Amino acid sequence: MTKILLTTTSFQDTPGDHHKLLADTGWEIIRARGPLNEADTLALVGDIDGYICGDDLITRKVLEKALPKLKVISKYGIGVDKIDVKSCTEFGIPLLFTPGVNHTTVAEHTFLLLLALEKNLLFHTDSTRANGWKRKTGHELFEKTIGIVGLGRIGKEVAVRARAFGMNVIAHDIYWDEKFAAANHVKRSADLDEIYAASDYISLHTNLTPETRDMMSAKSFPKMKKGVLILNCARGEIVHTADMVAALKSGQVGGYGTDVLDEEPPTPDHPLLKLANVVVTPHVGSRTYESVVRQATAAVKNLILAMHGEKPLAQINPEVPVKRVV
């Protein structure tokens, strides 16, 4: 029987039609609770034909053990920085993904983090629950400037919502959509330094690459306005953790709202968890009922199409042909 490994927890925990879609294949579903490290992934591969993964660490070593049986990897999501894409391509494994399904949800979550920081939400809820009724004065978003790093699907949705708040929007992206920018009054920055200098808030919506790793660091923080707020619904590794902690303590960075960390789940002594001017959520920016069903359905459809030798909805390595295996 065809065996499929399923590790993404939001897929498994959220009710919806995606469960029936997968069950109706008649395949044996092997379930695990991700995200998995290399050792845990190694223990599960070797006898699976297909793999629906979240943010599991899929290294060359994992792929070598999974072969020759593994035929398709269907990523639940869009970020593939935890997957050895080069090795997938070398070994002829189609790597599928699900773009365009969670941009609304992640953009909304970005503003949850921003408003929590600017309105001192955690302080006020903690105080009220403790019968303290203590109050801090916050800030409006109106007429502030938000700098968006990465004006893709999510970045565009952030820009639309920022304009609704009456904010000024400046953005940086190597693939510039002039039509969108003009229609939504988004200023194009010449470079990242212009974003840093102009922005009251900096929102990260770029992929993790060798160029973007540690983009937010001791080198970039001095170029920013003192007290800038930084929002991260992209990848934790875009921010250099030790440098961020130092900047938060000095006041150069006024607050950090993030849905991602460099270590997930974090250890209890992770330094960002100790600071009052940090809001951390556990990588749930795309985890709404609506978004999960869309994303899970796309991941299952991708897998079914590829396993039957048909063109998937989206493929990271389209140079690898899909071949019928069922």
**Cβ(11)–Cβ(302) under 8 Å?**
no
- Mean pLDDT, residues 2-29 taken together: 97
Closest alpha carbon to 296 in 275, 313, 271, 308: 313
Encode burial over 222-238: b for 16+ CB neighbours within 10 A, e otherwise.
eebbeebbbbbbbbbbb
Q: Is 3 helix (H, G, I), strand (E, B) or coil?
A: strand
213 an active-site residue?
no
Q: Which helix (H) or strand (E) holds 251?
A: none
Q: How far is the C-alpha of 4 from the C-alpha of 95, rounded, in Å?
A: 15
Q: Exactly one of 172, 283, 287, 294 is catalytic; which is it?
A: 283
Q: Exactly one of 64, 90, 263, 264 is catalytic; which is it?
A: 264
pTM above 0.85, yes or no: yes
At 287, the pLDDT band (50, 70, 90 cuts) reads very high
Residue ranges of the chain assigned to CATH 3.40.50.720: 3-101+288-307, 103-280
Q: How far is the C-alpha of 312 from the C-alpha of 302, rounded, in Å?
A: 5
Q: Percentage of the chain with pLDDT > 70?
A: 100
Q: Is 172 helix (H, G, I), strand (E, B) or coil?
A: strand
- Mean pLDDT, residues 99-118 taken together: 96
Which residue type sits at 45? V
Q: Which residue has the tokens 């194009």?
A: 188
Class of domain 3-101+288-307: alpha beta
- Mean pLDDT, residues 219-228 taken together: 98
Check the CA dihedral 230-235-237-241 and report its sign: positive
Q: Exactly one of 109, 205, 235, 294 is catalytic; which is it?
A: 235
At 40, the pLDDT band (50, 70, 90 cuts) reads very high
CATH of 103-280, one of 3.40.50.1820, 3.90.1300.10, 3.40.50.720, 3.40.640.10: 3.40.50.720
Write down the mean pLDDT value for the chain.
97
Q: Which residues pair with 169 in a beta bridge?
A: 146, 186
Lowest mean pLDDT among 79-83, 225-229, 249-253: 79-83
Which two structure tokens, joined as six digits, stand for 86? 């080069």
- pLDDT tens across 176-205, in order? 999 999 999 999 999 999 999 999 999 999
Q: What is the pLDDT of residue 242?
A: 98
φ/ψ of residue 255, rounded to 5: -170, 155
Q: Is 148 helix (H, G, I), strand (E, B) or coil?
A: strand
Cα dist. 54→6, 203, 255 in Å? 9, 23, 29
Q: Which residues pair with 5 in a beta bridge?
A: 30, 51
Which is it for strands 95-96 and 145-149: parallel, antiparallel or unpaired?
Answer: unpaired
- 3-state SS record for 201-247: EEEECCCCCCCCCCCECCCCHHHCCCCEEEEECCCHHHECHHHHHHH
Q: What is the pLDDT of residue 114?
A: 98
Q: Is 314 helix (H, G, I), strand (E, B) or coil?
A: coil
- pLDDT tens across 239-269, in order? 999 999 999 999 999 999 999 999 999 999 9
Which is it for strands 168-172 and 186-188: parallel, antiparallel or unpaired?
Answer: parallel
18 an active-site residue?
no
Q: What is the pLDDT of residue 49?
A: 98
**Cβ(288)–Cβ(276) under 8 Å?**
no
At 76, the pLDDT band (50, 70, 90 cuts) reads very high
Q: Which residue has the tokens 């801090």?
A: 136
38 an active-site residue?
no
- pLDDT tens across 47-56, in order? 999 999 999 9
